[in-house]
C-alpha cells in the first residue's frame, strides 16, 4: 500500500477521513458497536490491503437498533427545516472532503478518479435537494363531500430506515437515501457492501462529526458491517418499517419477500439490462461518447451501464466502426491516474463472471468484434483489470438476457421501424434505463409514449447512465419498482395520514348513510 499511497495521496486521504491504515488497527466507525470478526478490504487497483473493519454481531445489532430507535423519538420532534440544516452542514463537510472521499471511492472500489469525485458530487447534490425539501414536505387539503368537514393529508416521520447498498456506488446511494430520510425525520441503519467497507466507515465519520457539533445523538446515523446475514437482521426486523435495498435481482427477490412477509415497505433498486436504440438520423458525435461511456464507465459495473446497442441496419456498419474505433482510444489502468479511462473490476470473482459471459456469448453464436481478456504485467498485478469487449449478438441469447456486471457490449441490428427496436429494447426481464438516439421527433416521442420504453428511465440523445439526482431513480419489472433520489421519492420515507375534520354541529355520515338514533 505504501508505494501507491505515496503516489496518489491515499494515505493522506485515509487520515483526513479518520480511517486507520493497516498498520494502525481496525476502523469501526464511531457509532459501530462491531465486535465480530474482521473484514479485510483489499483494493482492486493494486491488490493491497487498505484496512480492516469489524463486523456486527447479533448482540451488537441490538445496541444499534436501540440507538436508532431512541434517536428517532427525538429527531422526529425536531422541525423539518432544522433537520434540513443538519443535512446542509453534512453537504458542506462533503464539499470540504470531496477530494479524499472521491479518492477512497476510486481506490477501494476501482472506478476512475473522475467518477469517484462524481459520486461525491452526487452526494452533495442530493444534500442540497434535501435541504430545499425540508421546507416542502407538504400535504394537501382535500374537499370533503360532507358540509362543515374538511379533509387533510399529512406526512409523518416513518421510523428507522434500513439501507442495504452495493459496492459499485459505495457512497452516493447511501446519501440518496439518508439525505431524504433525515429531512423526513427518520433515522438510518446502513449495511454497506462488504466489498467497500471503508467507504462506509468514512461516511459515518463525516456525519458523526456533524451530529456531534449539533449535540445530536449518533443513532440518527448507524452502520452495521458484514455479509448478507447482517442484512438479514434488518430485513426480518419489524422495528424497521422501510428497507431500501440496491443490488442484484437475486438479492432483491430474497429481501423483498422477507420484508413483505412482515408487511414492511421495501424500496428495491435492482438489476438493469439497458439498451440504446440508434436510429438512422442519430448523430454520431452524440452516439459514440454516450454509448462508450455507458458501456465502460465504472468498468461496466453500474446498474445503468449500457449493455446493448440496437442499431438500424442502414447505419449499422458506420456506427459499429465508430464504436470499435473509439474502443481503441481507451486506456485501462490504475483509476487514480487520471490518464486512465477504466479501472479494474471489483474482484477476481467478477473477472471470472466476465470471462464466463464472453465464453457463453461465443457459444451461443456471438461474433466478437473487440476481444476481451484479463490484463497482465506491470500495473495489473491485482488480476482485476480486463479489456472491454464488443460482441455482435442476438437479443434472445440467454447471456444477453441476463445482466453481467462487466464491460461487455452487445451489438444487434433492427431493420424495420422504431417500434421494432422498442420491442427489442423492452424484450428483457429488467426495466431500469433506456435511451434512443434520433433527430426524428416522432421516433423520440414514440419511444417516450405509453407504448414506448417500459423502463423507469427513458432518455433521448444521451446514454443510459449518469442520471441526475433531481429525477426519481429506479425501474420496473425485475429492477424492482422502487424510486429513490429526486422528484417525490421522499414520500416512501414517510407515513401518509388522511384526516377528516368535522367543524359542524352535526354528524353526517359519508356516502349519505342514515343512522338515526
**One character per residue 266-305, x = contact with ligand UN1 (rule: CB under 6 A):** ------------------------------------xxx-
- Of 59, 18, 14, 60, the closest CA to residue 224 belongs to 60
**One character per residue 202-241, x = contact with ligand UN1 (rule: CB under 6 A):** ----------------------------------------
99 is catalytic: no
CB of 405 to ligand UN1, least distance (A): 10
CB of 464 to ligand UN1, least distance (A): 8
Q: Which span sits near ligand UN1 by CB under 6 A: 135-143, 336-344, 399-407, 461-469?
A: 461-469
Instruction: Say if residues 274 and 475 touch (Cβ distance below 8 Å).
Output: no
What distance in Å separates the CA atoms of residue 65 and residue 172, rounded to the nearest whole number?
Answer: 23
129 is an interface residue for ligand UN1 by CB under 6 A: no
DSSP 410: E
Catalytic residue among 119, 269, 478, 484: 269
Cβ distance to ligand UN1 smaller for residue 406 or 418: 406
CB of 168 to ligand UN1, least distance (A): 5
Instruction: Say if residues 46 and 334 touch (Cβ distance below 8 Å).
Output: yes
What distance in Å separates the CA atoms of residue 156 and residue 466, rounded to the nearest whole number?
Answer: 32
**One character per residue 303-342, x = contact with ligand UN1 (rule: CB under 6 A):** xx--------------------------------------
Cβ distance to ligand UN1 smaller for residue 168 or 382: 168
- Which of 280, 427, 466, 508 lies at the binding interface for ligand UN1 (CB under 6 A)? 466
Partner residues linked to 476 by β-bridges = 431
Contacts of 134 (CB under 8 A, 6+ apart): 80, 81, 83, 84, 85, 87, 183
DSSP 477: E
Partner residues linked to 436 by β-bridges = 277, 460
425 is an interface residue for ligand UN1 by CB under 6 A: no
Q: Which span sits near ligand UN1 by CB under 6 A: 85-93, 219-227, 405-413, 464-472?
A: 464-472
| Nine-digit cell string for 306 | 449500457
Cβ distance to ligand UN1 smaller for residue 29 or 272: 272
Partner residues linked to 189 by β-bridges = 162, 222
The residue count for binding ligand UN1 (CB under 6 A) is: 11
Partner residues linked to 190 by β-bridges = 163, 223
* Torsion (CA) 114, 118, 119, 120 in degrees, nearest 10: 110
DSSP 216: -
- Of 485, 499, 515, 501, the closest CA to residue 174 belongs to 485
169 is an interface residue for ligand UN1 by CB under 6 A: yes
- Which of 186, 465, 480, 493 lies at the binding interface for ligand UN1 (CB under 6 A)? 465
Binding site for ligand UN1 (CB under 6 A): 122, 168-169, 173, 246, 302-304, 465-467
Active site residues: 269
Amino acid at each position: 500500500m505504501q508505494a501507491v499511497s505515496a503516489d496518489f495521496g491515499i494515505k493522506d486521504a485515509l487520515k483526513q477521513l479518520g480511517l486507520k491504515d493497516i498498520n494502525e488497527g481496525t476502523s469501526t466507525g464511531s457509532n459501530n458497536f462491531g465486535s465480530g470478526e474482521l473484514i479485510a478490504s483489499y483494493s482492486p487497483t493494486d491488490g493491497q490491503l487498505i484496512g480492516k473493519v469489524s463486523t456486527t454481531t447479533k448482540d451488537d445489532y441490538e445496541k444499534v437498533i436501540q440507538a436508532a430507535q431512541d434517536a428517532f423519538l427525538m429527531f422526529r420532534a425536531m422541525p423539518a427545516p432544522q433537520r434540513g440544516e443538519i443535512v446542509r452542514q453534512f453537504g458542506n463537510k462533503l464539499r470540504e472532503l470531496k477530494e479524499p472521499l472521491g479518492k477512497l471511492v476510486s481506490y477501494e472500489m476501482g472506478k476512475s478518479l473522475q467518477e469517484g469525485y462524481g459520486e461525491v458530487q452526487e452526494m452533495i447534490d442530493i444534500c442540497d435537494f434535501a435541504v430545499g425539501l425540508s421546507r416542502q414536505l407538504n400535504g394537501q387539503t382535500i374537499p370533503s363531500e360532507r358540509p362543515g368537514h374538511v379533509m387533510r393529508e399529512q406526512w409523518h416521520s416513518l421510523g428507522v430506515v434500513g439501507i442495504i447498498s452495493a459496492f459499485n456506488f459505495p457512497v452516493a446511494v447511501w446519501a440518496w437515501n439518508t439525505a431524504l430520510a433525515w429531512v423526513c425525520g427518520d433515522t438510518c441503519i446502513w449495511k454497506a457492501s462488504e466489498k467497500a467497507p471503508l467507504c462506509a466507515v468514512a461516511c459515518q465519520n463525516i456525519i458523526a462529526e456533524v451530529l456531534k457539533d449539533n449535540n445530536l445523538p449518533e443513532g440518527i446515523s448507524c452502520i452495521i458491517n458484514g455479509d448478507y446475514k447482517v442484512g438479514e437482521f434488518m430485513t426480518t426486523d419489524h422495528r424497521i418499517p422501510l428497507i431500501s435495498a440496491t443490488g442484484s435481482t437475486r438479492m432483491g427477490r430474497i429481501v423483498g419477500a422477507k420484508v413483505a412477509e412482515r408487511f414492511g415497505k421495501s424500496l428495491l433498486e435492482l438489476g438493469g439490462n439497458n439498451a440504446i436504440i440508434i436510429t438512422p438520423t442519430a448523430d454520431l458525435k452524440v452516439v459514440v461518447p454516450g454509448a462508450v461511456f455507458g458501456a465502460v464507465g465504472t468498468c461496466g459495473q453500474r446498474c445503468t451501464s449500457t449493455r446493448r446497442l440496437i442499431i438500424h441496419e442502414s447505419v449499422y456498419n458506420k456506427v459499429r466502426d465508430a464504436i470499435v474505433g473509439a474502443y481503441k482510444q481507451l486506456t485501462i489502468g490504475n483509476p487514480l491516474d487520471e490518464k486512465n479511462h477504466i479501472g479494474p473490476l471489483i474482484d477476481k470473482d467478477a473477472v471470472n463472471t466476465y470471462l464466463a459471459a464472453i465464453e457463453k456469448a461465443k457459444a451461443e453464436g456471438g461474433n466478437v468484434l473487440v476481444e476481451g481478456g484479463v490484463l497482465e504485467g506491470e500495473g495489473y498485478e491485482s488480476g482485476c483489470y480486463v479489456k472491454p469487449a464488443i460482441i455482435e449478438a442476438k437479443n434472445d441469447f440467454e447471456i444477453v438476457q441476463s445482466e453481467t456486471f462487466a464491460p461487455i457490449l452487445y451489438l444487434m441490428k433492427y431493420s424495420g421501424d422504431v417500434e421494432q427496436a422498442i420491442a427489442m429494447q423492452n424484450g428483457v426481464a429488467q426495466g431500469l434505463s433506456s435511451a434512443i438516439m434520433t433527430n426524428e421527433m416522432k421516433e423520440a416521442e414514440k419511444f417516450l409514449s405509453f407504448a414506448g420504453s417500459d423502463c423507469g428511465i427513458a432518455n433521448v440523445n444521451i446514454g443510459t447512465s449518469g442520471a441526475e439526482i433531481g429525477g426519481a431513480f429506479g425501474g420496473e419489472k425485475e429492477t424492482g419498482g422502487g424510486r429513490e433520489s429526486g422528484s417525490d421519492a421522499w414520500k416512501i420515507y414517510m407515513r401518509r395520514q388522511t384526516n377528516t375534520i368535522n367543524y359542524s354541529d352535526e354528524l353526517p355520515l359519508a356516502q349519505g348513510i342514515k343512522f338515526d338514533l
